[in-house]
Amino acid sequence: MTTDTTIQDTVHNTMDQQQQAKQIVSMLEEASDALDTRVLARLREARYRALAQAAQPALAVPDWQMLKQHAGQFLHLHQRAVMSAAMLGGSALLVFALTQQFAGQEITGQGDAFLLASELPPEAYLDRGFDTWLKRTAQQ
């Protein structure tokens, strides 16, 4: 039952839109009859140009073959600069990775050295009551 009502509403809306479109077209035709011949010629020319432009293929779709060809030409012409930039980038990445690797070991080593040099056993730091006892003694 609801589907029939929906279909009827859609058909009714479509008919209303078509009727409105016909009214708009007739109003435009009446108004264009009063226009000067020069204006009509300019409008006709603009319409032909718009149709010609719409008929041209869209450039939004990339041409992968042309893109690969241009990239290949660019790499061939600028081979030294591209290789130098790649080597510099790779070296920077290697230095960064090694620095991070060694920095992480120092921090871990410092933590271990702190625990070993401490007067308290490591289990004391794991005790939940130790923090409260430490705060209480620090306030006194």
pTM of the predicted structure, to 2 decimals? 0.29
Nearest to 125 by CA among 117, 115, 135: 115
Q: What is the CA radius of gyration of the chain?
A: 40
DSSP state of 36: -
CA distance 124 to 133: 11
Evaluate if residue 1 carries a pLDDT over 60. Answer: no
Q: Provide the residue type at 66 as one letter.
A: M
Evaluate if residue 7 carries a pLDDT over 60. Answer: yes
Tokens 């702190």 belong to which residue?
A: 114
Q: pLDDT at position 70, please? A: 85
Q: Which is more confidently placed, 54 or 46?
A: 46
Kindly report, residue by residue over 67-103, the tens digit of the pLDDT: 888 888 888 888 888 899 999 999 999 999 888 877 6
30-33: long-range pairs with CB below 8 Å, 24+: none
